[in-house]
Structure 1
């Protein structure tokens, strides 16, 4: 299974990259052969 992970940051808490990595770890723990493409984004605000 292939999954695109494209989160924004959690204001004053986590960067978009950190959020993407956390989501990726969750998928990897749940789905044995998952492939994750990380695409952290920002809303420009």
Structure 2
């Protein structure tokens, strides 16, 4: 099974890469499936410009 982990950041606390890493760690620790491929694709938030 292939699983894509593509989170956004948690504003002012965790980057998208840190969130993706935590999710992957949870999958690997608690999932009964051992034959899975996890792909981390952290989403980059676009900066919003003020008008």
User: CA RMSD, aligned part only?
Assistant: 1.2
Match of 1:35 among 31, 34, 37: 37
CA distance in 1, matches of 2:9, 2:26: 17
Larger Rg: 2
**Scaled by the length of structure 1, what TM-score is found?**
0.84
Quote the residue 1:6 is aligned against: 6
TM-score in terms of structure 2 length: 0.76
Which runs of 5 or more structure 1 residues have no equivalent in the other structure?
A: none
| Runs of 4+ that moved beyond 3 A | none
